[in-house]
Amino acid sequence: MSAGIGTGLGLTVRGLTTLFDTPRGMALAVADVDLDVGPGEMVGLVGESGSGKSVTLRSIMGLIQTPGHVTGKVEWGGRDLVAMPAEELRRIRGSEIAMIFQEPMTALNPVLPVGLQLEENLVAHTRLNARERRARALELMNIVGIPAAERRLNEYPHQFSGGMRQRAMIAIALACSPKLLLADEPTTALDVTIQDQILKLLLDLRDRLAMSVVLVTHDLGVIAGTCDRMAVMYAGRIVEMGTVIDVFRQPRHPYTRGLLGSVPRAGAVRTMLSSIEGTPPGLTDLPAGCAFHPRCSFATDICRQERPPLQSLGADRKVACFHHDRVAAAEAIL
């Protein structure tokens, strides 16, 4: 599926770069990220902690505050979200683009009833009156599968379980039927059975509401189970991109390969899980050349001197590695 660049449909990110001015120097949190999300498409963004995936999402949404600084283009419906005046951006947030967070515990206001928080979104973006808002709130609670909605609307977040809180958060995000949902590790804080329910809910909503979803996670299993395409991030850059099937079948970046190798799989012979040696680099002093070379078993001299560009390999497949052929040809890890 190719995203419609310039067609006004979907999200087109070009050269998104986010810098943080820290006492220890400029931290390059997101570097030159290109990303397309077509209508109704679910795109996964995966990487270790600190790889810049959450910051990418927050940069798209315009949530970066000083000392952070965002450059590049985030096109949504033909408009650039980065250059847009604050008031115009405010109108788009919550109505056309919504976002859900990792911790439903902290993303809901502890002192306001859930129903009121739901209706806040409608107050901000619609002209519905109190009765219509209440009706819409009930409808949303049903959509996300919260039972006893009538009673639940008057309860406070602490009276909700973790899974129910995330459902409520999703209901708030969906209030104005957004066309794009940015999900920042929506299932990380939940236990596995609830995780599965929430992901199924997201998939179901994507289909029913024709909504695009960007799903940030560090869990490859989540990506495999839900997304159409995926992008792998390392040290603020996208290092590999493609359809989920392609990337899982034949990873072409050593980092992706390492990630896949470190996941246990059902049905396979039990062996030692391979881990990626070393730790991700600090964002204020990235190594010269390819940021991954100190941890890479495929690295050669050129990797230490030059940064590999993100090159296209056929339709919808991109990789930033000089040795992607060798990586692809290496012994299968799955």
Partner 1 sequence: MSVAVEKIGLYPRFRRLALPRTLISGAIIIGVSLLIAFFPALFAPYDPIAFDYKALLKGPTLAHPFGTDSFGRDVLSRVIHAYTIDMQIAVFATVGPFIFGTIVGAYVGYAGGLAEAIFGRVVDAVITFPFLVLVIAIVSVLGPGLGNMYVAVGIVGWVFYARLVAAEVKVQKRLDYADAGRVMGYTPMRIVFRHLLPNAITPAIVYWMTDMALAILLGSSLGYLGLGAQPPAAEWGVQIADGKNFMSTAWWISVFPGIAIVITGLGFSLLGDGLAQLMRVRR
Q: How many residues bind partner 1 (CB under 8 A)?
A: 27
Binding piece for partner 1, criterion CB under 8 A, among 67-75, 108-116, 207-215, 304-312: 108-116
Burial of 165 (0-12, 13-18, 19+ CB in 10 A): buried
Instruction: Select 156 or 248, whichever has its Cβ closest to partner 1.
Output: 156
Instruction: Select 43 or 171, whichever has its Cβ closest to partner 1.
Output: 171
Q: In the complex, what is the shortest distance from the CB of residue 179 to partner 1, in angstroms, rounded to a whole number?
A: 14
Instruction: Select 169 or 238, whichever has its Cβ closest to partner 1.
Output: 169
| C-beta of residue 73 within 8 angstroms of C-beta of residue 17 | no
Q: In the complex, what is the shortest distance from the CB of residue 104 to partner 1, in angstroms, rounded to a whole number?
A: 9
Calculate ∠ Cα 172-176-179, nearest 5°.
105
Please report the beta strands in the chain, taking only residues with DSSP state E, as ranges in sequence order: 11-22, 25-37, 42-46, 68-76, 79-80, 97-100, 180-184, 212-217, 229-234, 237-243, 311-312, 318-319
Report CA dihedral (278, 284, 290, 296) to the nearest 10 degrees.
0
Among 90, 134, 218, 307, binds partner 1 (CB under 8 A): 90
- Dist CA 102 CA 87 (whole Å): 26
Burial of 48 (0-12, 13-18, 19+ CB in 10 A): middle
Among 20, 76, 101, 160, binds partner 1 (CB under 8 A): 101
Calculate ∠ Cα 316-317-322, nearest 5°.
150
Q: Counting contacts by CB under 8 A, is residue 288 touching partner 1?
A: no
Q: Counting contacts by CB under 8 A, is residue 265 touching partner 1?
A: no
Q: Counting contacts by CB under 8 A, is residue 170 touching partner 1?
A: no
Q: Counting contacts by CB under 8 A, is residue 111 touching partner 1?
A: yes
- Dist CA 66 CA 317 (whole Å): 35
Please report the beta strands in 77-202, taking only residues with DSSP state E, as ranges in sequence order: 79-80, 97-100, 180-184
Q: In the complex, what is the shortest distance from the CB of residue 186 to partner 1, in angstroms, rounded to a whole number?
A: 12
Q: Counting contacts by CB under 8 A, is residue 99 touching partner 1?
A: yes
Q: Counting contacts by CB under 8 A, is residue 98 touching partner 1?
A: yes
Q: Counting contacts by CB under 8 A, is residue 239 touching partner 1?
A: no
Q: Counting contacts by CB under 8 A, is residue 47 touching partner 1?
A: no
- Dist CA 138 CA 146 (whole Å): 9
Binding piece for partner 1, criterion CB under 8 A, among 100-108, 142-150, 160-168, 265-273: 100-108
Q: Counting contacts by CB under 8 A, is residue 165 touching partner 1?
A: no
Q: Counting contacts by CB under 8 A, is residue 218 touching partner 1?
A: no
Instruction: Select 212 or 250, whichever has its Cβ closest to partner 1.
Output: 212
Q: What is the DSSP letter of 295?
A: G
Cα within 13 Å of Cα(103), Cβ side: 6
Q: In the complex, what is the shortest distance from the CB of residue 99 to partner 1, in angstroms, rounded to a whole number?
A: 4
- Dist CA 144 CA 123 (whole Å): 20
Q: In the complex, what is the shortest distance from the CB of residue 180 to partner 1, in angstroms, rounded to a whole number?
A: 12
List interacting residues with partner 1 (CB under 8 A): 61, 63, 90-95, 98-99, 101-103, 106-112, 120-121, 124-125, 169, 172-173
